[in-house]
Structure 1
Amino acid sequence: MFSGLFNWLLGAGREIAVIVISMVPLVELRGAVPLGVAAGMEWFEVLPLAYLGNLIPIPFALFFGEKVLNWVGTLRPFTRFVAGYKAKLESKKAKVTKYARIGLFLFVAVPAPGTGAWSGALVATLLEMPKGKAMLSIAGGVVAAGLIMLAASNGVLGVVNMF
């Protein structure tokens, strides 16, 4: 599904495609980096674009995320998905709360399903973390996730050979 969307976006250019894909919740930078690499982009092109695209919607998610999620949960086709997503976030809340900013950084940095900048913003909102501190933790986590995904996309030896 995402490769089809990426190919469609390629009509606007690889750079725009990477930015837009990295803005999509649940795909984010973790999906944009491998797609950009697969499209033949160099790492120094892919990482900044994916980082930028991943962070563009995060201030909005920090301020309006919980309200939007609650509203989407009232829409019949999404009720079960939103309830499950909230339960998953609540289950991770204790780990993030224990370590606050470091916990949020690690939550965003680990490229696992259900983690990432969007989820991190929603967890920060649920924890009522200060928006500025949450944004810094999320931004740092996205950098770490980008480096992890770059290594995964090129292989560890491929990353070493880039430098």
Structure 2
Amino acid sequence: MSLEAVVLELLSSVPHWLATVIIGALPIFELRGAIPIALGIYDMNPIAAYLFAVLGNMIPVVPLLLYLDPVSKYLRRYAIFDSFFSWLFGRTQRNHSARFEKYGTLALTIFVAIPLPVTGAWTGCAAAFVFGIKFRHAIIAILAGVLIAGLIVSVVTLTGIGLLDLI
């Protein structure tokens, strides 16, 4: 059984709007998974699917931005977490440091807006932390990126669903 099927089964008794919010908040799916599920499986109105997925995707952002630093400092006392955070932050800096130095919060917005794996709000929070972007700049950049990604995913999903109807 796929991860998507497991999540859908766990959320089968939850109203579709709430399931969309929950899926949007999950780090593996975010709105990149929530919107196609809401449109394709729940047959939700596109505007409602977009809004609930964006809401869900933004729910973890504030706690992540506020607590990533103190939690990572606490967890780094343990070797396994120290290794993980070193890997995560090192990878983020290696892959994106030039863009963040040159473009700052605009780079964060673009990074979050690109609907590819590991480019969403969760990773955007880690990038904001790694590059020292202030909370208010990070929250605005991440929200803008999530809104743009939501539009892209919605259009691609609706276009795909429309093409499937023609077949």
Q: TM-score range by the shorter chain?
A: 0.7 to 0.9
The answer to whether structure 1 residue 7 and structure 2 residue 9 are counterparts is yes
- In 2, the alpha carbon distance for the partners of 1:30 and 1:142 equals 10
**What does the per-residue CA deviation read over 1:129-155, in whole Å, with 9 as the maximum and x for residues that have no partner?**
121111111101000000111122121
- Going from structure 1 to structure 2, the CA distance change for 1:37 and 1:156 (only over 3 Å counts) comes to closer
Which portions of structure 1, spanning 4 or more consecutive aligned residues, are displaced by more than 4 angstroms? 69-83
- In 2, the alpha carbon distance for the partners of 1:94 and 1:108 equals 16
1:94 corresponds to which letter in structure 2?
A: A
- In 2, the alpha carbon distance for the partners of 1:8 and 1:46 equals 19
The number of aligned residues is 159
**What does the per-residue CA deviation read over 1:10-51, in whole Å, with 9 as the maximum and x for residues that have no partner?**
311111111111111132111111111122111111000011
Higher Cα Rg: structure 1 or 2?
Answer: 2
Q: Which consecutive unaligned segments of at least 5 residues does structure 2 have?
A: 163-167
The answer to whether structure 1 residue 154 and structure 2 residue 158 are counterparts is yes
1:29-44 aligned within 5 A: 29-39=31-41, 40-44=43-47
**What does the per-residue CA deviation read over 1:34-92, in whole Å, with 9 as the maximum and x for residues that have no partner?**
11112211111100001111111101111112443565677787776555433321222
- In 1, the alpha carbon distance for the partners of 2:152 and 2:17 equals 20
The answer to whether structure 1 residue 131 and structure 2 residue 146 are counterparts is no
Given that 1:36 and 1:46 are in contact with CA atoms closer than 8 Å, whether structure 2 keeps it comes out as yes
- Going from structure 1 to structure 2, the CA distance change for 1:2 and 1:156 (only over 3 Å counts) comes to closer
Give the alignment's TM-score, normalised by structure 1: 0.84
1:55 corresponds to which letter in structure 2?
A: M
Tell me the residue number matched to 2:114: 110
1:45 corresponds to which letter in structure 2?
A: A
Q: Using the TM superposition, give the Cα deviation of residue 94 of structure 1 relative to its aligned residue in structure 2, in angstroms.
A: 2.7
